[in-house]
Amino acid sequence: MDVLTHSLLGLTAAKAGLERYSPYTAAVCILSANAPDIDVASALFGDRWTVLLHHRGITHSIAGTLMLGVLIPSVFWGIERVIAKWRKRPPQIRYRGLLFVSLIVAATHPLMDWTNNYGLRPLLPWSGRWFYGDLVFIVDPYIWLALGGAAFLLTSNRRWKTVAWSVLGLGLTLLFFLAPTERAPGPVNLTVIRTIWLAAILSIIVARVLRLERRLGKSIAALALIFVVCYWGALALAHHTAYRESVRLGNQLSIDRGEHFITAAAMPTVGNPFRWQGFAETDRATYRFFVGVGPEALPTDPREVLTDGKKTNSLTKIERYEKPSGRSEELVLLAERDRRAQILLGFARFPIARVENDNCIGQTLVQFADLRYTEPGIARGNFSVNIPVECPAP
């Protein structure tokens, strides 16, 4: 998940009752909730491929999370003792309480990251296997609203805090109304999202005016956390239905085209729990399509297949990316020796490759991509790469 979501979860957890264990709990909760993302510091020692190699790695594992959960309160404890000695006063931190809080909140980071389709490797350094929850998109406006609303009501007790929260809320609101959606993973019903967002913001403002936090106190934070868990549960049910439809469609495609079905997946789209991005892989191709749940069930026709992922405005169409064979496969194998390709393919869940011209003379271009996020030929970002290769002698 994004930094804002992790921070809001840490702050809300502190306000839900963890603050009673020790002073400085809120600060420790926010830091512990974000600590595993320290792996992005690998960019200081390499390029963007170094980041892709190490992100969601050892710091997101069980061992790494435990280490960070212990390290952060220990640093706070050590610094506070030095300051207390310098000021000649007794220390205020209760180390055991702060350690308990830090371990709990640090564990929420890999849990929340598991819920999206990026995945993580919790068994490092013993196993590099990726695990995916496929429940929540990398950013989720409804989780922002629940956790942010609770944190705002319980922390905006001073004018400068109210101003800071207002700026954050205004910035996110402008994001929803002004940000382009062309690159969003799937159709986005902006009208519904914007309506829910504005209604929720208005409700939070009314609750603040009525001083609801004075009557409910930390129960507001507890209710927000309960909402997130229930929301995950509802998404799990929707995902189960979408996954079954992806498997059914993948099997039908493989039968119709004489291919061998390998695997399928259903992944979340932005702000729409009824619309899922479907994938299916066979021995000869990878397919991408949309599946709907409940009111947005789509009559997808396996006969309407678009070869090589050509675009269409119809939601019922299926994109097909054929796997290289023959001479193209030889060129792909040569390109896979490149470090960038090895890192991308080690990360990719649905890797695809395309050879620009397999009848090359001298040199050609092999394009790799992770179909979850992009397509071959788009070299921007960490999820695709173009590798020039020397053509083998005839």
**Assigned domain for 44 exists:** yes
Are 23 and 120 within one domain? yes
**Assigned domain for 216 exists:** no
Domain tally for the chain?
A: 3
- CA dihedral sign, ordered 37, 39, 41, 46: negative
Are 286 and 335 within one domain? no
Are 2 and 127 within one domain? yes
Are 241 and 274 within one domain? yes
Residue of 193, 201, 349 lying closest to 274 (CA atoms): 193
DSSP state of 138: S
User: Which of 296, 322, 348 delimits the end of a domain?
Assistant: 322
pTM of the model: 0.88
**Assigned domain for 149 exists:** no
Are 306 and 338 within one domain? no
User: Which of 288, 322, 356 delimits the end of a domain?
Assistant: 322
**Assigned domain for 180 exists:** no
Helix (H, G, I), strand (E, B) or coil at 158: coil
Q: Please list the pLDDT of the chain residue by residue as tens digits (394 residues).
A: 899 999 999 999 999 999 999 989 999 999 999 999 999 888 888 888 898 888 999 999 999 999 999 999 999 999 988 988 888 888 888 999 999 999 999 999 999 999 999 999 999 999 999 999 999 998 899 999 999 999 999 998 888 888 998 899 898 888 877 765 544 444 555 677 788 888 999 999 998 888 888 888 889 999 999 999 999 999 999 999 999 999 999 999 999 899 999 999 999 988 888 889 999 999 999 999 998 887 555 555 555 555 555 544 344 578 899 999 888 888 889 899 999 999 999 999 999 998 887 677 778 888 999 999 887 776 566 788 998 888 776 6
Are 276 and 369 within one domain? no
Tell me the DSSP string of 163-221. Answer: HHHHHHHHHHHHHHHHS--TTSSS---HHHHHHHHHHHHHHHHHHHHTTHHHHHTTHHH
**Assigned domain for 77 exists:** yes
Are 309 and 386 within one domain? no
Are 263 and 339 within one domain? no
**Assigned domain for 93 exists:** yes
Residue of 330, 349, 343, 342 lying closest to 389 (CA atoms): 330
Are 335 and 382 within one domain? yes
User: Which of 295, 322, 349 delimits the end of a domain?
Assistant: 322
Are 54 and 4 within one domain? yes
**Assigned domain for 244 exists:** yes
**Assigned domain for 364 exists:** yes
Which domain, by its residues, includes 357? 327-390
Are 276 and 376 within one domain? no
Are 12 and 127 within one domain? yes
Strands 285-292 and 272-282: antiparallel
